[in-house]
Amino acid sequence: MSIKTIFFGTHDFAVTILQTLIDDPQISVDLVITQPDKPVGRKKELQQSPIKKLALKYNIEISQPENLKSYALDLTPYTIGVTAQYGLLIPKEILDSPKHGILNVHTSLLPKYRGASPIQSALINGETETGVTIMKMDAGLDTGPIILQKTLKIDENDTYPQLELKLAQIASGALLEAIPDYISGKLEAIPQDDSNTTNCRQFTREDGKIDWTRTAEEIYNQYRGLTPWPGVWTTWDGKRLKLFKIKIANKNFEPGKVLVEDNNIYIGCCRNCIEVIELQLEGKGVMRVKTFLNGNTHIHDQLLGL
């Protein structure tokens, strides 16, 4: 008999997880709960979440409550719940409703990087390893007991979208391994070590502002973690200058100073420098450096971020 499952999810990462559950013959996803359709663009047209689109494709029942504080649906018939990038608080009474509770797919090796931005934080901090944790949810923020973990080496050039995709793939396999073994009792939920926790927060646009007195490696890690949003940026001539694609170069000169050589732009840091590949000046489109320099050669020898 298949495992009667309820799934909570909203964003792209969760699509890989849900698809894996749908494809597994041991599991029957009978209800999907996702966030309400959101208005987007100038016309404020309602847009379905990626999870809703997938559920519609497979004719799975969908529910889209504004919140779960007064959610009235009886979840006791479900064997287990799964949540991945849902985005809304799940009250304790719902967490306890399915027979075996609700499992969460978290994109870090808990108790490290509890919170809203584990992938971004790992990249910004220059971590060389991360992973996924399948945990049983409790009322705290990523504080529930651990059922299974899988590690992943971070490539030195991974950006957020690339690392998220890799983690989604290993998380799917980990979840399929964890669910039947947890239900059967082969896997035990082990409490987290609360004395060894780190927490991460939601990032804002201001977090993308570059401090050129930092090393090129630190700035590059900031770029890796904050791509595509909010991106990394600086200011020049009173305008925001967003750097869409960059890399580290082995040159040393004054932090924030711009050096133009052979149609290349280099920006000084406290150690090494940043070479800019693609950029966008406020009010303009994204362009390659060579195109940008056609109308902005005076950027040479200027100081950014002032």
pLDDT, tens digit, 9 for 90 and up, residues 129-142: 999 999 999 999 99
pLDDT, position 74 = 86
Cα–Cα distance between 121 and 108 in angstroms, integer?
Answer: 10
Amino acid identity at 263: N
Amino acid identity at 178: A
CB neighbour list of residue 89: distance below 8 Å, 6 or more residues apart: 67, 68
Closest CA to 255 of 196, 213, 218: 213
306 found inside a domain: no
Same domain, yes or no, for 156 and 84? Answer: yes
CB neighbour list of residue 50: distance below 8 Å, 6 or more residues apart: 10, 11, 12, 14, 15
* Mean pLDDT, rounded, of the chain: 96
Same domain, yes or no, for 129 and 50? Answer: yes
Same domain, yes or no, for 194 and 226? Answer: no
248 found inside a domain: yes
pLDDT, position 306 = 65
pLDDT, position 30 = 97
pLDDT in tens, 159-218: 999 999 999 999 999 999 999 999 999 999 999 999 989 999 999 999 999 999 999 999
CATH number at residue 132: 3.40.50.170
- Mean pLDDT score, 252-278: 97
Q: Which two tokens stand for residue 25?
A: 């013959």
Enter the pTM of the model.
0.95
Q: Give the residue numbers spanning the domain of 286.
A: 205-299
If pLDDT is split at 50, 70 and 90, which confidence band does 147 have?
very high
Cα–Cα distance between 8 and 22 in angstroms, integer?
Answer: 13
First-to-last C-alpha distance (Å) of the chain: 65
**Block residue for tokens 């600086």:** 234
pLDDT, position 1 = 72
DSSP class of residue 187?
A: S
pLDDT, position 188 = 94
pLDDT, position 145 = 98
